[in-house]
């Protein structure tokens, strides 16, 4: 990366992305959504169905869309599971089919219903029509369009600046208002979801969070955002990083490295800070920044951290 006045992408990556943007004749535009107070609602999947086993996180605004608008894709569904489609909504015994965890090309009819705290929407997919829990849908943006979207370039430049200036309000303004910000200390550790309103004061919040397990079996990673996550973000975004779109660049490690399957349809940029001297090759760090589009505008929705590991962690479930 360059100095704090320059692009978070660094010279080579920015040239590649902005070169494609120039060909398309586009101009840079950031995600400039105003923050408004939003109520914290936990989405709970209906009844004992073959639905994904994870509990949906908070949804801060309702999904929107219509059959003539942009397509949607399945998200937040584990790779080994599927998303039930029901007719009518919320009736476990009337499942009419399922959608794959990486299903794309889904359209909304515009019909929706609130069942308890879960918003259900009527969808049209190839050979299938019915109702699904809206938590598991995201606007479908092709990897090619994403990697040449100037809005994303501007968003990530601003995101890097907010990290280095420790500006919680700026971070909140760039975060998905639908879901808040999901953070994984390691890709195999559980996600911690922070609501947008909590991000505004995150650098002064003294609440200790359990981020998962460390390399040492049974050893937890606990502390505030400022103690645990912020230094790791600054280590990458404050250095000369190598930037890739929808691919991971990592260093030496004994553990498998991958983008979590639950986010298969989410596009991302990865920021890799290589290890230093030849004798410190295990000091590398990578942050993958997952982007979700909300009404056509990109916002940060997932942060996944990668680092060198020597001893496989226990209880990761992966």
Quick: pLDDT tens for 258-298. Answer: 899 999 999 999 999 987 665 566 778 899 999 999 989 99
Mean pLDDT of the chain: 80
Q: Are 256 and 316 in contact (CB under 8 A)?
A: no
Of 128-142, 177-191, 276-290, 295-309, the least confident: 276-290
Among residues 88, 107, 139, which one ends one of the domains? Answer: 139
The answer to whether residue 277 is domain-embedded is: yes
| Residue 45 belongs to domain spanning | 41-139
Domain boundary among 101, 122, 139: 139
152 & 261 share domain: yes
In a domain, 152, yes or no: yes
Q: Can the peptide bond before residue 88 be classed as cis, meaning omega within 30 degrees of 0?
A: yes
- With 90 as the cut, is the pLDDT of residue 213 above it? no
Within a domain: 313: no
**CA separation for the pair 194, 303 (Å, rounded):** 11
Domain end marker among 91, 111, 139: 139
DSSP state letter for 312: P
Give 238 or 216, the one with higher predicted confidence. 238
Q: Which alpha helices (H) appear in the chain, and where do they start and end?
A: 10-24, 143-147, 150-164, 168-173, 196-199, 225-237
Q: Are residues 102 and 162 in the same domain?
A: no
pLDDT of residue 203: 96
Q: Answer yes or no: do 147 and 98 share one domain.
A: no
Give the mean pLDDT of 192-220.
88
Tell me whether residue 214 is in a domain.
yes
* 8 A C-beta contact, residue 177 and residue 61: yes
Split at pLDDT 50, 70, 90, the class of 70 is: confident
Domain identity same for 111 and 184: no
Asked if the structure places residue 170 within a domain, the reply is yes
pLDDT at 157 over 60: yes
Any domain includes 167: yes
- Given a cut of 90, whether residue 311 has pLDDT beyond it is no
For 98, 110, 164, 180, the CA distances from 318, given in Å and listed in that order, are 23, 37, 32, 24
- pLDDT value of position 55: 56
Q: Cβ–Cβ contacts within 10 Å for residue 235, how many?
A: 16
Strands 297-307 and 181-184: parallel
**Is 171 found in the same domain as 124?**
no
Same domain, 258 and 189: yes
* 275, part of any domain: yes
Confidence band, pLDDT 50/70/90 cuts, at residue 164: very high
Residues 149 and 14 in one domain: yes
Domains contained in the chain, number: 2
Residue 221 and residue 80 in one domain: no
User: For the residues 210-239, what does the mean pLDDT come to?
Assistant: 89
Q: Is position 33 within any domain?
A: no
Looking at the fold, whether 163 and 97 belong to one and the same domain comes out as no
Instruction: State whether 49 and 160 are in the same domain.
Output: no
Are 80 and 165 in the same domain?
A: no
Judge if 204 and 239 occupy the same domain: yes
Average pLDDT for 212-223: 80
Across 212-241, average pLDDT: 89
CB 13 within 8 A of CB 243: yes
pLDDT of residue 29: 33
pLDDT cut 70: percent of the chain above it? 72
């Amino acid at each position: 990366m360059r100095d704090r006045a320059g692009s978070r992408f660094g010279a080579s990556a920015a040239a590649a992305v902005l070169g494609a943007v120039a060909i398309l004749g586009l101009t840079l535009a950031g995600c400039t959504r105003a923050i408004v107070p939003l109520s914290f609602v936990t989405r709970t999947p209906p009844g004992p169905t073959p639905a994904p086993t994870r509990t949906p996180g908070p949804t801060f605004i309702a999904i929107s869309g219509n059959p003539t608008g942009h397509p949607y894709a399945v998200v937040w569904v584990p790779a080994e599971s599927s998303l039930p489609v029901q007719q009518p909504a919320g009736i476990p015994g009337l499942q009419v089919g399922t959608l794959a965890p990486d299903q794309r090309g889904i359209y909304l009819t515009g019909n929706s219903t609130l069942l308890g705290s879960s918003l259900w929407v009527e969808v049209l997919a190839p050979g299938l029509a019915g109702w699904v829990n809206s938590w598991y849908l995201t606007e479908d943006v092709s990897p090619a369009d994403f990697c040449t979207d100037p809005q994303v370039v501007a968003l990530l430049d601003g995101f890097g600046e907010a990290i280095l200036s420790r500006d919680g309000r700026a971070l909140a303004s760039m975060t998905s208002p639908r879901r808040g910000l999901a953070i994984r200390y390691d890709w195999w550790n559980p996600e911690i979801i922070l609501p947008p309103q909590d991000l505004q004061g995150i650098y002064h919040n003294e609440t200790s969070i359990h981020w998962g397990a460390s390399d040492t079996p049974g050893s937890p990673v606990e502390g505030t955002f400022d103690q645990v996550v912020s230094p790791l973000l600054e280590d990458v975004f404050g250095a000369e990083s190598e930037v890739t779109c929808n691919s991971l660049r990592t260093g030496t490690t004994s553990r498998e490295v991958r983008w979590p399957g639950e986010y298969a349809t989410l596009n991302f940029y990865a920021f890799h800070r290589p290890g230093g001297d030849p004798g410190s090759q295990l000091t590398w760090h990578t942050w993958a920044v997952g982007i979700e589009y909300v009404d056509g505008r990109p916002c940060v929705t997932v942060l996944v951290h990668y680092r060198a590991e020597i001893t496989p962690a226990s209880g990761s479930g992966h």
